[in-house]
Amino acid sequence: MPPKKRLSAARPEKTGAEPELVMPLRFGNDPLLWASWLYYEEGMTQGDIARTIGVSRATVISYLADARTRGLVNISIETEHLKTLSISKALKEHFGLRDCLVIPGEGGDRSLIDRLGAAGAQVLQGILRSGDTVGVGWGRTVLASAQALNIDNLQDVRVIQATGTTSSHVPFTPAACATKMAAAIRAECVPISAPAIVSSPELRDILTSEQLVKEQLASLDQLNCIVFGIASLRPNSTLHSSGFFHDDPKLRDAYSTAVGAIAGRYINERGKLVKGPLEDRTIGITLDQLARVKQRIAIAGGTDKVPAILATLHGGYVNILITDATTGLGILSADGKTGSIRPEKTVTEPAESIKRTRVKKFLNEPEDAVDESLEGAVLEYAQYLKPARKSNRALVAQDGPRAGKVGLVIGGGAGHDPYFYGYVGKGLADAVAIGNIFASPPPMPILECTRAANGGAGVVYLFGNYSGDILNFEMAAEMAKREGIDVRTVITTDDIASSRKEDRESRRGVAGNVFVFKIAGAACDQMLPIERVEELARKANRETYTVGVALEPCSMPETRRPTFLIGENEMEVGVGVHGEPGIARQPLVSANDTADIMVDRILAEMAPERGDEVALLVNSLGATPMMELLIIARRVRQRLKARNVQVARSWTGSYCTSLDMSGVSISMMKLDAELKALLDHPCNAASFQIR
Amino acid sequence: MKQVEIDDIVAFLREAATRMKEAADYLGQLDGEIGDGDHGYTMSRGFSAIVRALNEIDVQSHDMSTLFRSCAESFLEAVGATPGPLYASGLIAAGDFAGNRSALDADEALMLLVAISDGIGARGKAIAGDKTMMDVWLPVVQTIKNLRQENAPLEVILSEIRASASRGVESTRSMVAMRGRAARLGGRSLGHIDPGAASAAILIESFANTLEQRAL
């Protein structure tokens, strides 16, 4: 993609320009402006302009030059492209490459593989010459390059498959890549008529001494160009999915120092060959052979590939690299090279807002914030809760646990007030364990809650899907089980923006938890057995959908600085309750449009039928006032009405916050008769009552 | 062969606590780049709690299993968040490995590190390349296993363990964080050392140093 000029410099053929001679008024008697306009906007040639305004061509040239010096004409290159240029220059210099092509990190609808493939095709177009012998590796990007390439004016080009073949349950096998590439450039294709990996070194020796295979492999010594991909050893890499690397613990041990693979050979972080049991069973180009090829083109992108690409660069196996801006920048910073690259100028972190002064807060000693606020909560909400033992980090409902009732224990990090203490009371949670700000409580307070909530019918743990919470609740559950308490765990995952639908289990738990607490608490209060409580909590979680949008980040008491930055005219759609990035950083839009973005996503996943009922929660992330929440809530209701979805019950206010984050989240739980009855069951807690 | 006794384990844990305290600022700085900056303080607080517990109990009345278990409990009580359960699980696994013995052959004592790593791995389920402490533990464990198989002398193994740990720390620079708070940075975590990996290396070095001084 060529750099774009603000004034288009494309000059279509234009002949016979009519002499104007009288300068149109709009140019304000400035011949430089007139000439510039005709040249850059009208696309006329210098000769035509000379005739049009009645001066010599030499004068036109000097007009145009003066216009540039006087700043009348600015030629600008789009920021995104400028960034790719500076990254590719830095990569080229830092690693001593012959050349480097960096494509923009973001590319709209086209996948990274497709865009890298197109870039690979563009590079090959410029490099390949008649008579070349081209080695072709395999993988998604190599195949994408072959698919994007079409050259029909070369003669006597040969394409050599760089490795033996692999099983064909993926479309990008060595054979497919070589065949496609050969077809794209009208070349003769030389396959390797043997598997890439055989069962023993002896078999490899036998196969490679077969005349046909021997000749095919010998042609790998004649390559003057090779194009290949770089495999990462991450679990979802091509290498794993294509069965190249078996899921064999012995092999994994042998290759534990490998960070990547090229042409089926494993390399460590310095780019040295990792010798393992596969090495002597592999048929294909060796690393030494590869390093001798004059033009070594690697096409690879994606930040998970950074270690592998870096190793390939360190090993010197590539001298023409094609990657994307995000990966390129990652490679440079991973190799300790950051200084001379212009700081990545993204809209996400405008430099000026870094200078923002400390956020003002009502605090004494910042490290006492959590304990002091819990002290306040225990006093303020004494009618609902009390410490389980001595510490306010484990609070139990005044009117909750009772014999024969399943206990409900919730908890997590502080900073989400009135989460979680506001949901402790009759018909809701029996006890709550609270950690430090945004950090899980340790197992002991959770265990104290468990003991306090245990009425002999078992205890259900209910908390959001975060690694720290999972670990600590898991340990507490183990301890409780040793004490003979039956503990079940339900992890909430209502944040539909935190990962794809198919990946529901890895989603985070956010404000929609309130509904899950409510359903589980009601089930406990109705004295249902633990299996039912667990089942209903899971059902409530499954039916609950939340999307958040942040306008401003929150700031931690210790630092009093924003934990991340959102640009002046931006918002973060899909933000998490600790500032986790969401689906998109996008330009700020009106309240209605913001509500629509969120409702669209929720409805798309929830897919309610006409006449379905939902529970609705419009929640402030901390700093957003009621006025704005109600504007959003009004629009949400308009949308639901238009969809013929009934709002059975709704709440608007601060229910699950993120310190002082400015933003809103919308949660909906799709109701059936069972959930609706449980939702209507009375409850009485500091932040949530149904009478 | 020399034996590693309860006293030696206590010496190792004290050494680790001192080193964690010294490194608290450095670890905090690393964490400030990709996390919330409290890792140095957290690790230092956890190991200080272990030392306090060791001061309070009669260590000689303990076997390896009960010693490691009480260390795990003190650590866990002092540290919640993520490192708490991870290291507590590691220490408990080390205790389970040594059982009710009060001494191990120096060579076998290396397997305590393997047990700690297994305990952490089973709890946290991070895999190689996730940019976590496992990117130090896993290569160190591999080094121990390989060199023990080759019957390498203890001093060689100890120095290789240290080298492997520091390579592991460096290797996290080129990784994208997949777990914990740093994961939300995505590609922006590149170029930064994982603080959990750095503190794991400090613990492993403390172990190697202690064995070198007391068991060679």
- Residue A246's pLDDT is 54
Q: Who's near B93: CB < 8 A, 6+ residues apart? A: B115, B116, B118, B119, B120, B122
Last residue of a domain, one of A492, A507, A528: A492
Contacts of A269 in chain B (CB under 8 A): 167, 171, 174
Q: How far is CA A104 from the centre of its chain?
A: 16
Contacts of B187 in chain A (CB under 8 A): 303, 326-327, 329-330
In degrees to the nearest 10, what's the CA dihedral of A517, A520, A523, A524?
-90
A329 and A372 together in one domain: no
Q: Could you tell me if residue A64 is inside a domain?
A: no
Contacts of A448 in chain B (CB under 8 A): none
Q: What share of chain A is helix, strand, coil (3-state, %, to 5)?
A: 40, 20, 40
A164 and A251 together in one domain: yes
CA distance A527 to A685: 18
A435 and A548 together in one domain: no
Q: Could you tell me if residue A244 is inside a domain?
A: yes
- Residue A505's pLDDT is 85
For A317-380, the three-class secondary structure string (H helix, E strand, C coil) is: CCCEEEEEHHHHHHHHHHCCCCCCCCCCCCCCCCHHHHCCCCCCCCCCCHHHHHHHHHHHHHHH
Q: Is the pLDDT of residue A253 over 90?
A: no
For A383-401, the three-class secondary structure string (H helix, E strand, C coil) is: CCEEECCCCCCEEEECCCC
Q: Choose the weakest-confidence range: A191-195, A347-351, A666-670.
A: A347-351
Tally of CB atoms within 10 A around A483: 11
Whether A257 and B79 lie within 8 Å, measured CB to CB: no
Tokens 């502080």 belong to residue: A414
Give the gap in angstroms from C-alpha A330 to the nearest C-alpha of chain B.
6
- Residue A76's pLDDT is 66
Reported in sequence order, the residue ranges of B63-191 that DSSP labels E, i.e. its strands, are 103-105
Q: Measured between CB atoms, does B129 come within 8 Å of chain A? A: yes
Q: Could you tell me if residue A274 is inside a domain?
A: yes
Whether B85 and A474 lie within 8 Å, measured CB to CB: yes
Domains of chain B by range and CATH?
Answer: 3-215 (1.25.40.340)
Among A429-443, A548-562, B23-37, the range with the most confident prediction by mean pLDDT is A429-443
- Residue A242's pLDDT is 55
Are A614 and A648 in contact, with CB atoms under 8 Å apart? Answer: yes
- Residue A36's pLDDT is 87
Specify the CATH number for the domain of residue A666: 3.30.1180.20
Amino acid identity for residue A499 in this structure: S
Give the gap in angstroms from C-alpha B34 to the nearest C-alpha of chain A.
11
| Substitution target from B174, B193, B194 for chain A, most A beta carbons within 10 A | B174
Contacts of A307 in chain B (CB under 8 A): 129, 171, 174-175
Give the gap in angstroms from C-alpha B182 to the nearest C-alpha of chain A.
10
Give the gap in angstroms from C-alpha B102 to the nearest C-alpha of chain A.
26
The angle formed by the CA atoms of residues A626, A632 and A638, to the nearest 5 degrees, is 135
Residue A189 phi/psi, 5-degree rounding, is -110, 125
Q: Is the pLDDT of residue B160 over 70?
A: yes
Domain count of the fold of chain A: 3
Q: Is the pLDDT of residue A1 over 80?
A: no
Q: Is the pLDDT of residue A355 over 80?
A: no
What residue numbers bound the domain in which A212 lies? 80-333
Q: Looking at this predicted complex, what is its ipTM?
A: 0.79
A317 and A430 together in one domain: no
Whether A303 and B186 lie within 8 Å, measured CB to CB: yes
pLDDT digits (tens, 9 = 90+) for A364-422: 988 889 999 999 999 999 999 999 998 999 999 998 789 999 999 999 999 999 999 99
Q: Measured between CB atoms, does B37 come within 8 Å of chain A? A: yes
Whether A256 and B128 lie within 8 Å, measured CB to CB: yes
Whether B180 and A256 lie within 8 Å, measured CB to CB: no
Contacts of B76 in chain A (CB under 8 A): 442-444, 475
Query: Residues A518-522: what's their mean pLDDT?
Result: 97
Residue A432 phi/psi, 5-degree rounding, is -140, 135
Long-range CB pairs of A624-627 (<8 Å, 24+ gap) are: A624/A551, A624/A662, A624/A663, A624/A664, A626/A652, A626/A653
- HSE, CB side, 13 Å, CA atoms: give it for residue A67: 22
Q: Measured between CB atoms, does B190 come within 8 Å of chain A? A: yes
Are B85 and B122 in contact, with CB atoms under 8 Å apart? Answer: no
Give the gap in angstroms from C-alpha B191 to the nearest C-alpha of chain A.
4
Residues facing B104 on adjacent strands: B4
CA distance B200 to B81: 16
For chain A, the average pLDDT equals 87
Whether A436 and B89 lie within 8 Å, measured CB to CB: no
Are A402 and A430 in contact, with CB atoms under 8 Å apart? Answer: no
Specify the CATH number for the domain of residue A272: 3.40.50.1360
The A158-161 sheet, strands edge to edge:
A99-103, A320-324, A295-299, A225-229, A133-136, A158-161, A188-190
Give the gap in angstroms from C-alpha B58 to the nearest C-alpha of chain A.
24
Q: Could you tell me if residue A420 is inside a domain?
A: yes
**Residue A297 to residues A1, A606, B131: CA-CA distances in angstroms?**
19, 46, 29
Question: What's A571's DSSP letter?
Answer: E
- Residue A241's pLDDT is 56
Q: Who's near A483: CB < 8 A, 6+ residues apart? A: A451
Q: Is the pLDDT of residue A342 over 50?
A: no
The angle formed by the CA atoms of residues A239, A108 and A342, to the nearest 5 degrees, is 85
Largest CA distance in chain A: 102
Q: Does residue A418 have a cis peptide bond before it, meaning omega lies within 30 degrees of 0?
A: yes
Q: Could you tell me if residue A519 is inside a domain?
A: no
Q: Could you tell me if residue A344 is inside a domain?
A: no
Q: Could you tell me if residue A67 is inside a domain?
A: no
Whether A576 and B173 lie within 8 Å, measured CB to CB: no
Residue A225 phi/psi, 5-degree rounding, is -160, 140
- Residue A665's pLDDT is 97
Closest-approach residue (CA) in chain B for A447: B77
Over the Cα atoms of chain B, what is R_g? 16
Specify the CATH number for the domain of residue A424: 3.40.50.10440
Q: Is the pLDDT of residue A520 over 80?
A: yes
Q: Measured between CB atoms, does B139 come within 8 Å of chain A? A: yes
CA distance A93 to A87: 10
pLDDT digits (tens, 9 = 90+) for A598-622: 999 999 999 999 999 999 999 999 9
- Residue A57's pLDDT is 87
Contacts of A232 in chain B (CB under 8 A): 129
Q: Measured between CB atoms, does B45 come within 8 Å of chain A? A: no
A464 and A596 together in one domain: no
A263 and A371 together in one domain: no
Contacts of A435 in chain B (CB under 8 A): 80-81
Q: Is the pLDDT of residue A350 over 70?
A: no
Tally of CB atoms within 10 A around A119: 23
pLDDT digits (tens, 9 = 90+) for A621-645: 999 999 999 999 999 999 999 999 9
**Residue A603 to residues A320, A512, A586: CA-CA distances in angstroms?**
47, 15, 21
A95 and A146 together in one domain: yes
- Residue A10's pLDDT is 40
| Substitution target from B29, B43, B82, B137 for chain A, most A beta carbons within 10 A | B82
Q: Could you tell me if residue A414 is inside a domain?
A: yes
Q: Measured between CB atoms, does B76 come within 8 Å of chain A? A: yes
A619 and A663 together in one domain: yes
CA distance A687 to A676: 20
- Residue A15's pLDDT is 45
Whether B191 and A444 lie within 8 Å, measured CB to CB: no
Contacts of A559 in chain B (CB under 8 A): 37
A78 token code pair: 């789009």
Whether A334 and B138 lie within 8 Å, measured CB to CB: no
- Residue A236's pLDDT is 62
Q: Which of A232, A333, A578 sits opposite B190 (nearest CB)?
A: A333
- The 3-state DSSP class for residue A613 equals strand
First-to-last C-alpha distance (Å) of chain B = 9
Alpha-carbon dihedral sign for residues A203, A204, A208, A213: positive
Closest-approach residue (CA) in chain A for B193: A334
Contacts of B177 in chain A (CB under 8 A): none
Over the Cα atoms of chain A, what is R_g? 32
Whether B174 and A335 lie within 8 Å, measured CB to CB: yes
Q: Which of A333, A558, A580 sits opposite B191 (nearest CB)?
A: A333
Q: How many A-B residue pairs are in contact by the CB < 8 A criterion?
A: 115
- Residue A239's pLDDT is 63
Antiparallel, parallel or unpaired: β A260-262 and A265-267? antiparallel
- Residue A138's pLDDT is 92
Among A3-12, A266-275, B202-211, the range with the most confident prediction by mean pLDDT is B202-211
Catalytic residues of A: 416, 578
Closest-approach residue (CA) in chain A for B121: A471
Closest-approach residue (CA) in chain A for B192: A334
Q: Who's near A561: CB < 8 A, 6+ residues apart? A: A356, A358, A359, A555
Contacts of B191 in chain A (CB under 8 A): 330, 332-334, 336, 338
Whether B123 and A474 lie within 8 Å, measured CB to CB: yes
A419 and A557 together in one domain: no
A43 token code pair: 């696309």
Are A359 and A552 in contact, with CB atoms under 8 Å apart? Answer: no
- Residue A110's pLDDT is 81
Residues facing A227 on adjacent strands: A136, A297
Whether A336 and B179 lie within 8 Å, measured CB to CB: no
What band does A5 get if pLDDT is binned at 50, 70 and 90? very low
A177 and A299 together in one domain: yes
The angle formed by the CA atoms of residues B117, B120 and B122, to the nearest 5 degrees, is 105
Among A232, A185, A227, A230, smallest CA distance to A320 is for A227
Whether A559 and B37 lie within 8 Å, measured CB to CB: yes
Are A495 and A522 in contact, with CB atoms under 8 Å apart? Answer: no
A19 token code pair: 């002499």
- Residue A346's pLDDT is 38
A687 token code pair: 């932040």
What band does B189 get if pLDDT is binned at 50, 70 and 90? confident
A581 and A632 together in one domain: yes
> pTM higher than 0.80 for the full model?
no
Give the gap in angstroms from C-alpha A571 to the nearest C-alpha of chain B.
17
Percent of chain A with pLDDT over 90: 61
Q: Who's near A607: CB < 8 A, 6+ residues apart? A: none
Contacts of B167 in chain A (CB under 8 A): 269
